[in-house]
Amino acid sequence: MGKKRRRKNKIRAEFKKKHDSQVRKKDFTDHARGDVDDTSLVSGERVSGKGSLTRRRTIVGEMVGEQETGFQVLLDIDEEKCLSGRVLSVHGLKTKVSTAEGIFECATRGLLKNLATDLQHVVVAGDHVKIRPDLEQQGLIVRVEPRHSVISRTSRGRRQIIVSNVDQALIVCSAAEPNLKPGLIDRYLIATEQTAIRPVIVINKIDLIPRAELQPLIGVWSNIGYPVLMVSAATGVGLNRFRNMVIGKDSVVTGQSGVGKSSLLNAIDSNLNLRTSHVSQDSEKGRHTTTSAVLVPMVGGGHIVDTPGIRQFQLWDVAREELEGCFRDIRPYINACKFPNCSHRHETQCAVKNAVADGMIDLRRYESYCGMYEESDRGT
C-alpha cells in the first residue's frame, strides 16, 4: 500500500488589487432602438461578476496570525526541494540569504509579493525563509516563516518592519554631536513593549560632556526598569560590557544618524569593517553610511543587525487607548483614575496627573506620552 499523501488545505486569500475590472458595456441593440436612458446606467456596474472579488484567490496554505508574521497565510511548499535560510540583507529586488550550503542571492516569489498586507516590504533582515535553490548560488524565496519578534514603524502609511527575530534592541544615542533626543528613545521603548524584544539604552560619546549632566535622564529610565549603558567608541569606555551584552545573542542596533552605531560595532569586532562617517559641523546631523539593515555574524556567537539611522520614528498600530499601558511608569496609576476612559490629559481626579504633580512620574516622560497620544488622535 502506497504512502498516504498529506491533505493540503485550500483557503481563500486576499490579494493586492492591481487594476479595476472591466465595467459593464451598454447594450448596442437597446441603443439602436432608443430604449436606453444614459442617465440611468450605473457606471461602475460589472457584468463579469468580478470587481472586488478579483482580490481573492484560492491558494494552498494555512491561515496564521497576522500580528506574528505580517502575512495572513503560510504558503504550502515542497520542503524537500527547499533550503532553510536566514535573510542577511535586502537590496531592491535582490535578497541575500545565508543557508547551510552557502549564501544565495534570491528573488522573492510573486505570490508572496502580491498577498494583501500592510507591509512595505515582505522580506526583511533577520527573517527565517525557505528558498528554492538554483544554479550559481541563486534562488527564489518561496516562504517567510512566522516571526517571533519584530520592530516596526509607520512609513508612508504602511508598516515598515525594520528587523525581525532578534532578542534585544540596542537603542543607541549620543551624549553630543548630535544631541541626545529623549523623545525618540521613548518611541523606540514603546515599540519594544509590544513585542518580546529586550531594550537596552546605549549612550555613546560620553567623553564629550560631563557625565553628571546625563544622570537625571539616566535615573528616570533606570528607575522604571530600562538598562542604560554609557560607552565611548573613541576612548573604549564601556566597550567590554557592550561586547558581553551582544555576544551569543541576536541583537539589532538602532538609533538616529550620526550617533556612532557602526563605530561601536567596529570597536568590538574589527572583522565587521562597517562604513563610518563624521557628523556635519553645520547641522550636527549624521550622514547615512548604512543604507539598509544588514545581519552579520559576530565573532564569539550571535548576530548583530546594523540599521540605517532614523531621524523620525512614527509608531505602528498603537491605538491611543493602548498607549498608556506601554508606558511602564504610567501603567501602575491607570486603574486609580476616576474615569475608566481617562486620557490623563484634561480630566479631573486623574491619578496619572496627580502622580506627575507629586513627582512620581517624570514630567518629561508624561509630556512624551501626551505628544504620542495627540499624534494617534490625529490618525497619523
User: Residue 9's pLDDT is what?
Assistant: 76
- Would you list the domain boundaries of the chain? 63-144, 164-306, 320-377
CA within 13 Å, CB half, 174 = 23
* Interatomic CA distance for residues 173 and 180, integer angstroms: 6
**pTM assigned to the model:** 0.81
Three-state SS sequence of 233-250: CCCCCCHHHHHHHHCCCE
Residue pair 152/53 in contact by the 8 Å Cβ criterion: no
Query: CATH number of 63-144: 3.40.50.620, 3.40.50.12170, 3.30.70.20, 2.40.50.140?
Result: 2.40.50.140
Residue 371 DSSP SS3: helix
Tell me the CA distances in angstroms from 288 to 72, 81, 248, 333, one per residue in order.
34, 40, 28, 41
Fold classification of 164-306 (topology level): Rossmann fold (3.40.50)
pLDDT at 288: 46
Q: Which fold has domain 320-377?
A: Ribonucleotide Reductase Protein R1; domain 1 (1.10.40)
80 vs 30: CA distance, rounded Å: 59
CB 333 within 8 A of CB 352: yes
Q: Strand 250-254 and strand 303-306: pairing? A: parallel
Binned average pLDDT, 10 residues per bin, the chain of 380 residues: 53 62 52 55 48 61 60 79 95 93 94 79 93 90 91 86 93 93 94 90 95 94 96 94 93 91 88 65 49 85 87 82 93 95 94 97 96 74
> What residues contact residue 71 under an 8 Å CB cut-off, 6+ apart?
64, 112, 115, 117, 119, 122, 144
Query: What torsion, rounded to 10 degrees, do the Cα atoms 149, 155, 157, 162 define?
Result: -10
